[in-house]
Amino acid sequence: MTAFSLNPEQTARCEELRALAAERLRPLAEKGEPGHVNRPLVAALGELGLLEGLFTSGALDLCLMRESLARACTEAETALALQGLGAHPVHAYGSLTQREQWLPPVRAGHAVAAFALSEPGAGSDAAALALEAAPDGSDGWRLTGEKCWISNAPEADFYTVFARTSPNAGARGVTAFLVPADRAGLTGTPLDMLSPHPIGALAFDGVRVDGADVLGEVDRGFRVAMTTLNRFRPSVGAFAVGMAQAALDATLAHTAERDAFGGKLKDLQSVAHKVAEMATRVEAARLMVYAAASSYDTKGPQAAGIARRAAMAKLVATEAAQFVVDAAVQLHGACALRRGHLLEHLYREVRAPRIYEGASEVQRSIIAKDLYG
């Protein structure tokens, strides 16, 4: 890819993914129950080889996949992304035993993963998490506390859980654990959220973990969390770009066909200028996402400036998508507010990405810290 365009193979792949999402995945998504894991949809992602791509694709290819799916079926995009977010720490930091046990069923769409970082009192301030990992024997801990706002909870098959193994140590006292959902003492509760995908809370009542459950190194779990988020933040931006493009496509069609004031809606200068602004913001966001992902692929996750670029991409794309979807609703009028309308769906979906995986305010802090650092 150049700085400004995709090559023919990438363009063809994006078109193929949009067709797959529309023809194979959207019908399964429409049969799902809001607020619950759609296991047939996850299984279809596995059968089509898309989940395998989470672990074999570079950051740019992941962005192209998420953007393409989002334009045609946001539910499929989100199901895929959550598998990646929950399982990437296992892929990148897990032991051979952990990888052999959990990654094949994740790739096949038979096991559902979840990323359990946020807590009731530690959402944006992830380093302040309080889930306690109290020593239990020579090589074990007992997890006690809560996690909240966890996507795929409480229906996931396993969780990447971040807990405090060293009190009063901030980010340096956190350890990542792989915790199967059936571990004694682990319970969950679904939360009724605006977003249609499952989100829940988890309660840990002395849940036993040991050295075999550690992902990476003890007290180095914050690195596991941040490297995972740095990989996925540009692709959150790609998800937002896909939604924004879907809203723009719908708006172009609607304003070209709708009769108004003796002509078509698009003939009104105020409408035409709004659509031009929407298109410009979508393209600007897309280029920032592609640039951040390409930088990650070229320089590696630990390179200087990677976190800043990822934060910029997520910030610009999610804010742009909010603007574009809202403008699309305004230009469509009341019909866009009816249940089942594409824009009604996108209006509910587009709000959450400005909060999860680091709110917009957190992204600005990351950017500023890197600039002054």
Would you give the distance in Å from CA 231 to the centre of its chain?
10
Q: Which residue has the tokens 């990148």?
A: 92
Element (H, E) at 147: strand 140-151
In whole angstroms, how far apart are CA 38 and each of 17, 19, 198? 19, 20, 9
353 with 289: CB under 8 angstroms?
no
Burial tier of 74 (Cβ tally within 10 Å: 0-12, 13-18, 19+) = buried
The pair phi, psi for residue 159, each rounded to 5°, is -130, 140
Establish how many alpha carbons lie within 13 A of residue 54's alpha carbon, considering only the half-sphere containing its beta carbon: 31
Element (H, E) at 103: helix 96-108
> Under the phi-then-psi rule, with left for phi > 0, alpha for psi from -120 to 50, and beta for the rest, what region is 102?
alpha
The pair phi, psi for residue 256, each rounded to 5°, is -80, -25
Tokens of 163: 């807990």
**3-class secondary structure, 184:** coil
235 with 190: CB under 8 angstroms?
no
**3-class secondary structure, 212:** helix
Smallest Cα–Cα separation from 118: which of 108, 110, 128?
128
Active site residue 119: no
Of the candidates 75, 77, 319, 357, the residue annotated as catalytic is: 357
Tokens of 37: 């894991």
Residues forming the active site: 357
